[in-house]
Each structure stands twice: as C-alpha cells, then as structure tokens.
A and B are shown apart, each in its own frame.
Chain A
Amino acid sequence: MIRIFRLGFIGLVLCYVYTPIFILVVNSFNESRYGNKWSGFTYKWYEKLFENDSLMEAGWHTLQVGLTSATAATVIGTLAAVALQRYRFYGKGAVSSLVFVSMLTPDIVMAIALLILFVTLGIELGYISLLIAHITFCLPFVIISVFSRLKGMDMSVTEAARDLGANEWQVFSKIILPMILPAVASGWLLSFTLSIDDVIVSSFVTGPGYEILPLKIYSMVRVGVSPEVNAISTLLFVGSVVLIVISQLLLRKKGNL
C-alpha cells in the first residue's frame, strides 16, 4: 500500500514536470494556429520556421556564441580545476571562493555587474560582450565538473610520471587529460546548453545588432502565442535533451558521478 502511494507520488511529480513540455511539442505539430484544439498533424510550422530569416539568423548567432563560449570556458575551467587540485599558490582560497560565489550569484546580479563593466570599459554590446558573459557563467560548472572527477582519481600515476622525468605539461597532456576527458566533455556540453538557453544575462549584455535565439523567442512570446515559436522551442528542447543525456552518460562512465 505504502509502495503504491510512493510510486504514485513520484509519478505525479514527474507528470507535473513533463506535461507542459508535452503540450508544447504536440502543439508544434498542430494544424490549428492557437493550439486549443487538435486539428490535424502538420509540419508547416517547421517549414515556416526555416523560411523566417531573422529567426534563422538569431539561431546562427546562438550557435556561434554557444560553440565559442563553451570551448573557451572548457579550456579555462579545465586548467583551473587542475591547478586547484595539483598546486598550492597564493590566493588559492580566494579563487575557490570566487568560483563558489559566481555559481551562487543570481543571474540578474551577474548580468548588471557585467553590463556596468562593459559600459565603463567601452566594450560594445554584441558578440564580444555576450561571449565574455557566457564564458563567465559557464566557468564554475566546468571547474566543478572536472574538479570532482580529479578528486576521485588516484594521483600516484602522476607522481610516478614525474619521477620518470615527465614535465608538468607532459603529465597534464599524457596522463591527466585522458583520465578526465569524460568530465571535460561533459563540462563542454553543459556549458553549451547553458549558453544556448540563457535569457537573463544575455538580455542585459547584448545589443540590438546581435540578436540571439532565446531573446528573439522572448520578444515573440511577449506578443502572444505563435506556432513558429512552438516549433523552434521544440527543436531547442530536443537539442538540449540530447546534449544532456550524452553529458550524463559520459559522467557515468566508469561509475564516476
């Protein structure tokens, strides 16, 4: 009896989480414009989507920012995690608390802090400012993902390598990197999804000349329901889910989570 109740409650919560998404996906294939009633299956909203030039351009910008910021955040974050794990240096405590703080800071606070910085330094709001902002909010996720992998590893191999004459770069590239590769890849994928899904930070630090997809969607849905938005949202959703599933599988490999 208690078992049934338990499973029922878990099922109910999962239902609650997935129902809105399910409706959205169904509606993106719905013939009816307002999506109140099912009136037949159609691909036409997807076709319309690919004909919408400004939406496609925004999508292209989003990919651009996502790919570059995820890559940069992964490089910087991986090096940072290795440094935090292997070295003692002046200000190490300060660096780890900055990572912690930047992870907890509400998006909106980070957004205006960066906006003030960009305006003061005279950096034009557009691709560069978006890139910097996205790298900054992805960085802690990469660092933590890689760091927790490093912590669970046996580091005696690196000492053996040092004894046998390998320099630090060789130890990193030949031993540490291959060992932490799943966590690095998963950090990249997480950063990429964070970047393509961000609304709050981007809405502050981009200019009118460089529109990205989430902001374009935001301005469209503020006006009202639009079936093209259902279609693009479905694509965005499916894309994120695929990336997340891959990244979780990578992390799970060898039982390390």
Chain B
Amino acid sequence: MNKQFNQFRFWAIGLATSWLALFVLVPSLMVLVTSFLTRDADFLIQYKFSLEGWKSIFDPTFISLLWDSLSMSMITAVICLAIAYPFVMCLMGLPQRWRGIVLFLLIVPFWTNSLVRIYAIQFLLGKKGLINETLQFVGLIDKPLDMLYSQFAVIFGLSYILLPFMILPIYSSMERLDFKLLDAAKDLGASASQRLMRITLPLTLPGIIAGCLMVVLPAMGMFFVADLLGGSKHALLGNVIKNQFIQTRDWPFGAALSILMILLLSFMLWLYYRATKMSNREGGINDSNF
C-alpha cells in the first residue's frame, strides 16, 4: 500500500514539475543565453559571447520603433481603462444575477479566435465599412474616412481584443470593495467625486494595475493586429521579434527583445505588488484596519 501511495504522489508531482521545468524554465534561460551569443548567417547562432544583440536595441531607428510600439500599447491600455472602469461601475449597480450574465456575454468572444475578430474589424473600419456608411448616411461626412491601415486602426483593434482583460481584474477588485466605506463617507458628507477619488480609486488600484499588465504586454506582442489593420507601416514589438526570428534571422537581437518584454513584465508585477500592499494598508480590504 505504501508503495502505491508513493507512486501516485511521484507521478502527480513529477509529471507537471518536469514539464514546467523542461518547457518553461529551460527555454526561458535559453532565451537569456541566446541574447548574449553571436549571430551566424548559416547556423543561426555561434556559441560565442557577444553583446551585439543588446547593442542593436540602442540603435536610434529601433528606439523610435520601440517607442511607437510602447506608446500604442499604452494608449490601448488607457482606452481600455476609460471604457472598463465606468463599465464596471455601471455593472455594480445591477443585481448580482445580471452581473454574471453581462460578464459572461463579455467573456464569450474573448475565448474565440482573436485573428478572426481582427479580420472582422476590417469590415467595420474599411472605406465602405459600417462606420463610414453610417456616418455618410447620417450626413456627418461627405467622403469616406481613411481609417484602415493607420495607427488608429491598430489601436482600435488592440483595444477591441483586450478590453475583457481590463474589465475582469477591475471587476474582481471592485467586488471586494467594502461598500460600507462608501456609505460611511457619504454620511460624513463626502461628495460623489470625493468618494471616487479617495476611496474607490485607491482601493481598486491593484485591479487597475493588473488590468494594465494584462493589456500592455500582450498588446506589444500581437503582430497580426499590426499586419492586418496597420498595413506595413505601424509595427509592434511583436512584428520586430517575429522578423528577427523568421526573416532576418538575427536571433540574439530577437532574444534580447523578449528579455526586454520580460523586464517590463517584472516591473509591472512589482508595481502591482506595491499597489496591493498599499491598498491593504490604507483601506478596507483586510479586517485589521477596523
């Protein structure tokens, strides 16, 4: 009996541990190592130390590209936040049952193919797309607007795809908010905007940061959005990484770029950690404050 006990335990722990070690941990370390190797035209990489991959990042043309990609992702996060936050506040006014249904309706498309949904946006933004036809019909514009293949289109597509990633974390932090605090503030004479700025916003800050984390990083990687909606002009970091690996074959540079993304991820995780600590200390999420 004892032997069988060990066997089940052994497989349950061993299988997942070795899978994660072999296919998550080892490859990540290999990316780090690759970023410090020498590029080779024939064999992709030479096992010789070099900083070329990292130097390419500080190339001025690349810096401006990186900035473009970063700013597009940040604008996307801001737009998502501007829609998601009021949306969640409206949602909290609904009865519990309805909240579940609305959230479910939001999540369903998020599990479907994002490529297909980006492709569908072409129908919306095109010269003869729904938006242009509607605006012309209403009489707001005479000539169709040129919306497709622009920075606007890329940002539109990214925020469309990533909106649920902003809504869900904000919703879960809003759900944990103790509404008695708001009632108390109201009784003590705080105005609606004071209650928002001094109670709701600070206490839901972890949710906001988690949402930004789940929007900004994926947004930088979604090369197909830039491809289909931005034409060739408005590249994201993902397009650059893809080019380095598939076409230009500069693996050390591509690897250095993904390390850069991981650093960004760690930075945002650190922010999140700080924000949760802060809201736990100052607010009503844990009981020790009462």
A21 touches B8 (CB 8 A): no
A residues less than 8 Å from B130 (CB atoms) = 19, 23
Q: Which of B27, B120, B251 contacts A21 (CB 8 A)?
A: B120
- The complex places the Cα of A237 from the Cα of B115 at a distance, in Å, of 11
A residues less than 8 Å from B246 (CB atoms) = 204
Whole-angstrom distance between the Cβ of B219 and the nearest chain A Cβ: 9
- The complex places the Cα of A14 from the Cα of B246 at a distance, in Å, of 38
A residues less than 8 Å from B238 (CB atoms) = 108, 200
Query: Is B34 close to A, CB under 8 A?
Result: yes
A residues less than 8 Å from B241 (CB atoms) = 108, 112
Closest A residue to B33 using CB positions: A116
Q: Which of A35, A135, A237 contacts B112 (CB 8 A)?
A: A237
DSSP majority for the A interface? helix
B-contacting residues, A52-108, CB 8 Å: 76-77, 79-80, 82-83, 87, 89, 91, 95, 98-99, 101-102, 104-108
Closest B residue to A25 using CB positions: B120
Could you tell me how many residues of chain B have their Cβ less than 8 Å away from some Cβ of chain A? 80
A169 touches B8 (CB 8 A): yes
Q: Which of B34, B123, B224 contacts A199 (CB 8 A)?
A: B224
B221 touches A109 (CB 8 A): yes
- Over the window 1-20 of chain B, the binary record of Cβ atoms lying under 8 Å from chain A Cβ atoms (1 yes, 0 no) is 10011011101110111011
A233 touches B122 (CB 8 A): no
A21 touches B117 (CB 8 A): yes
B-contacting residues, A153-205, CB 8 Å: 165, 167-169, 172, 190, 193-194, 196-197, 199-200, 203-204
Q: Which of A21, A112, A139, A229 contacts B109 (CB 8 A)?
A: A21
- The complex places the Cα of A115 from the Cα of B228 at a distance, in Å, of 24
Query: Is A222 close to B, CB under 8 A?
Result: yes
Q: Which of A7, A101, A200 contacts B221 (CB 8 A)?
A: A200
B residues less than 8 Å from A218 (CB atoms) = 115, 224
DSSP majority for the B interface? helix
- The complex places the Cα of A248 from the Cα of B149 at a distance, in Å, of 37
- The complex places the Cα of A18 from the Cα of B122 at a distance, in Å, of 14
Whole-angstrom distance between the Cβ of B260 and the nearest chain A Cβ: 10
The 23 sampled A-B contact pairs (Cβ below 8 Å) are A2-B93, A20-B117, A23-B120, A82-B12, A99-B20, A106-B217, A108-B221, A109-B31, A116-B30, A116-B34, A119-B44, A136-B23, A139-B19, A139-B20, A167-B1, A168-B4, A169-B7, A169-B8, A193-B111, A200-B222, A204-B245, A218-B224, A233-B120
Question: B residues near A, CB below 8 A?
Answer: 1, 4-5, 7-9, 11-13, 15-17, 19-21, 23-28, 30-31, 34, 44, 83, 86-87, 90-91, 93-94, 102, 104-109, 111-117, 119-124, 128, 130, 160, 163, 213-214, 217-218, 220-224, 227-228, 238, 241-242, 245-246, 251, 254-255, 258, 261-262, 265, 269
